[in-house]
Structure 1
């Protein structure tokens, strides 16, 4: 188990070594002299030692600061962002043992202490993956990947009473791709707000979520990796100037769903104090655990790589442990039936608490946990963007070959793409799909000459996977009355957008105004040099950036996302109301564009006819909501 009982003591390697050398020299000298000289020289020793320590630590350690963590010494690097803020970066710190060999498909093992000073100046490779989110479809990364990065504006030099508020970011990627790498999630913007930022890798795909629904492989390895990071933060963040009693977890997409799952997990209790979910919750169709599916997926995965898919679970997992990691990653293509769909194959699972699995991550459906009121009731921000559905719809609509195939197989592909087979009774799937098609597409297929059908398809994807599940999550949490919730809708169209990366093609750019895409709010929290140029210093984009980083930082510091007194952002708890049997609430609208200017104001009505439509469909989850 992970230990969090400790008292921070700060050591800087340069000062320790200098003190030892100085002391040895002076003591040898003093032993050969008279007592009066001894007293004088003893005072001189203290003064000289102090001066030498100041000189050395101010020169070498200011460029490459060294800190002793509970696992050993780490050497970082001091950097300066474009705003002139100096900060310290410590990259590639291991937070658990490498999950390879016998540790594959097991909970993370606490890291052993290392002896030499760890060079923590470079990002480590991502967890092994086939990243189909962006243009490169090749297998990348390593199975030895459980590393984190810490960015801080101050390193404590004594036992300080309180450090910076801490922000721990959980990356996007559909549970199959992504990383905490600084080329995608750079810290520069947050460093202006005097906070300590942590980013990290966690296991992905089959390595992060393989489950046999029993004690052999209970699953949720990725979520347990994330919990290991939170334990590491509790144990070590004080050495980096962070306050372990003010930890905010935030994430986007799969990371946002992970944040919500940590709110529902007993394993994460007490490890964080606030939460932010950007475009995703535990009720999202790509994240909500389904009881019978994990074992079926595990058996199919085994068969794809030459293992016996019908073997007992122990033999099945033993076989998969001996398959080359890259072979396992590539084999996920066998699950695809259309392009890269379904993109999410491995996802969270519901575990059983047993003597062999005494610390499960989650043991009930998220809806049941929320309704039981037995969850980590911390202040929570929940966010959405204008066109969430573009993460999948962009490529399907813009790439003519995929679009034509979709049109030719519209009524057979779409119910599968939307996961309706997991949410409806078999004899109702066609009925539900017909109602959806009538509502979003006026009973037609998509048509490039009718922009309304393209936008309707985007809205359909966004509502199914993000907007409606997010609305229901807020609704259920508000009903408990246990914690404050703030809601925002990001509708600001900046100079850059993730839509071109998700589409993976320049084709079809002029079909419609593609609007604000899934992930676009991240552009104003992180630099992403691998994908985008820096925001222009005096642009409208930068004004949105300043607002968002200040709001997130103030939330981390004080529990209220209120960066300016002249922008009102009330919690949904204070403005929710019943509207014809449905819950409605206010939210913060961030809108405008880089060509005009950003506008940020409170709207009073989050509930729409599109959300009402989904509320009235005969879906399994709707029955659970109402029980």
Structure 2
């Protein structure tokens, strides 16, 4: 006890000086971290911000109690239940609602640093916050505090039953709990609670957008959305009350009673629940919630119809990669491609029952009258990239502007040795596929060699741009040798974007022919959007 008291006295005495011992006093108690070995920063790993309700693991989480003793924040290996993508094994525990805080040693109570909060992607079914993918050294070098957080996935995070017990979007509400924790406690780590930027990629970008759309309190000041917004066709799904009984049946309980199925599932090991959920895919996504007294609601309306009043108060940086669907298409056997992809994709968002011409119009624009062959492989790839990622981002840009937002737009085009997804799939063709940019923001552990000179330049540029945005609300507050051009926000009359490649260049209206066609297509057929039809009923 005396040692703790002495440490506390020393901590208070030197708190205005650069941190030496990574021991932090918070409102919850003392948290001891680790000194990093790859940079001048401290790591506070695996801090619990909430806990799963054991009696209802598919419902809202519970607050985490204060620490009775010093919390040893030295383990970032917690992962929420999932089939993990690297080893393809089912792993994880429900004791996973943890976050990691990486703090440059110069952060003090008198030198509070801006905060970047990362929300991982993975289709709301995979992902984790640990250093295996999200090594912090590139970003903390930019004098910002980095926070990465876990949230529940699959059936535990996104079972939507339209009931008070399981209203839906538990994973998004886990993120909300983490953001509230960060807003309240980050100052204890030398963070500026008034300069918080949340950023994410793919489903993480969609999550960021939902936080922007939600009616919950303002917990952040800037947002960065990478290859994903709530306008993506896969970003929202209808509730399905049959899901618990379908899962239970695969695990040995044949019942038509949802409550009985949920009680049973809450006693089953998570790895078995995840295994069963893989047999009924595409049921675990964000959903529109119903109103229940005393139950916090996160998504109130379909994102197509949602206003974004927060946009006028929050700075936005948004973009995507120039070949989002490269990896899924480049080596795909022709026999697996079909022109039905146009109908299947359109049917997610549009009512095709009253207008069969929609499919024909879309197909003829992208491939004419061609049949499936290698000749149109890239055209099919472009359609799916546009429909799934590029144009949803474009539509979101318009919504932000309509709500008074200040928005910076980028395209990531760089093809180097560290393109994350291409590297894992041994693809060397040019262009940036979905998620390829992640390894230029984070030190991803699958890359064993030091970055090449060319890759290091892209790392330095991207982390500086993102950090500048977090610090100043402007990715290029001044031109430098590293960032030699001024990147301006978009307007209703012009759509400038920064192209991040071997060099930084400015362009206007990326992929403008395809984008203009899709703009016209959506405007002409707005009445056939399923979200609008439901709203008008």
**Would the TM-score normalized by the shorter structure come out above 0.5?**
yes
Shift of 1:588: 1.0
Residue 455, structure 1, aligned to residue 378, structure 2: yes
* Alignment match, 1:436: 362
Instruction: Provide structure 1 residue ranges, at least 5 long, that are not aligned to the other structure.
Output: 1-11, 21-49, 337-343, 578-583, 592-597
Cα deviation digits, residues 189-246 of structure 1 (max 9, x gap): 1121111110011101111010112323111111111111111111211111101111
Cα deviation digits, residues 556-576 of structure 1 (max 9, x gap): 111111154241111003xx3
Instruction: Decide whether aligned partners of structure 1 residues 461 and 304 sit closer, same or farther in structure 2, where only a CA change above 3 A counts.
Output: farther
Residue 493, structure 1, aligned to residue 415, structure 2: yes
RMSD: 3.1
Would you say the 8 A contact 2:320–2:412 is kept in 1?
yes
* Alignment match, 1:131: 84
Instruction: Decide whether aligned partners of structure 1 residues 424 and 205 sit closer, same or farther in structure 2, where only a CA change above 3 A counts.
Output: same
* Alignment match, 1:581: none
Residue 518, structure 1, aligned to residue 434, structure 2: yes
Residue 363, structure 1, aligned to residue 363, structure 2: no
Normalized per residue, the structure richer in helix is 1
Where 1:256 maps in the other structure, the secondary structure is helix
* Alignment match, 1:334: 279
In the alignment, which of 602, 608, 624 is matched to residue 512 of structure 2?
608
Would you say the 8 A contact 1:282–1:366 is kept in 2?
yes
Residue 398, structure 1, aligned to residue 349, structure 2: no
Instruction: Decide whether aligned partners of structure 1 residues 298 and 19 sit closer, same or farther in structure 2, where only a CA change above 3 A counts.
Output: closer
Instruction: Provide structure 2 residue ranges, at least 5 long, that are not aligned to the other structure.
Output: none
Shift of 1:316: 3.8
In the alignment, which of 2, 6, 30 is matched to residue 17 of structure 1?
6
* Alignment match, 1:317: 262
Instruction: Decide whether aligned partners of structure 1 residues 502 and 318 sit closer, same or farther in structure 2, where only a CA change above 3 A counts.
Output: farther
Instruction: Decide whether aligned partners of structure 1 residues 457 and 514 sit closer, same or farther in structure 2, where only a CA change above 3 A counts.
Output: farther
Where 1:165 maps in the other structure, the secondary structure is strand
Residue 385, structure 1, aligned to residue 321, structure 2: yes
* Alignment match, 2:62: 109
Shift of 1:144: 1.4
* Alignment match, 2:286: 348
In the alignment, which of 477, 480, 488 is matched to residue 400 of structure 2?
477
Would you say the 8 A contact 2:322–2:413 is kept in 1?
yes
Instruction: Decide whether aligned partners of structure 1 residues 15 and 213 sit closer, same or farther in structure 2, where only a CA change above 3 A counts.
Output: closer
TM-score by length of 1: 0.77
Residue 532, structure 1, aligned to residue 447, structure 2: yes
**Aligned mates of 2:84, 2:356 — CA distance in 1:** 32
**Aligned mates of 1:280, 1:206 — CA distance in 2:** 21
* Alignment match, 1:212: 161
* Alignment match, 1:242: 191
Matching of residues 252-267 of structure 1 within 5 Å = 252-267=201-216
Cα deviation digits, residues 24-70 of structure 1 (max 9, x gap): xxxxxxxxxxxxxxxxxxxxxxxxxx89x88xx99xx83x5222222
Instruction: Decide whether aligned partners of structure 1 residues 468 and 478 sit closer, same or farther in structure 2, where only a CA change above 3 A counts.
Output: same
Cα deviation digits, residues 311-338 of structure 1 (max 9, x gap): 2x433433332332112111233235xx
* Alignment match, 2:496: 586
Matching of residues 276-287 of structure 1 within 5 Å = 276-287=224-235
Would you say the 8 A contact 2:46–2:98 is kept in 1?
yes
Matching of residues 126-165 of structure 1 within 5 Å = 126-132=79-85, 134=86, 136-154=87-105, 160-161=109-110, 163-165=112-114
Would you say the 8 A contact 1:75–1:118 is kept in 2?
yes
Where 1:266 maps in the other structure, the secondary structure is coil
Shift of 1:399: 5.0
Where 1:101 maps in the other structure, the secondary structure is coil
Would you say the 8 A contact 1:446–1:457 is kept in 2?
no
Give 1 or 2 for the bigger CA radius of gyration: 1
Choose 113-122 or 551-560, whichever is displaced more. Answer: 113-122
Cα deviation digits, residues 48-99 of structure 1 (max 9, x gap): xx89x88xx99xx83x522222222222111243xxx4100111111112x1
Would you say the 8 A contact 1:165–1:557 is kept in 2?
yes
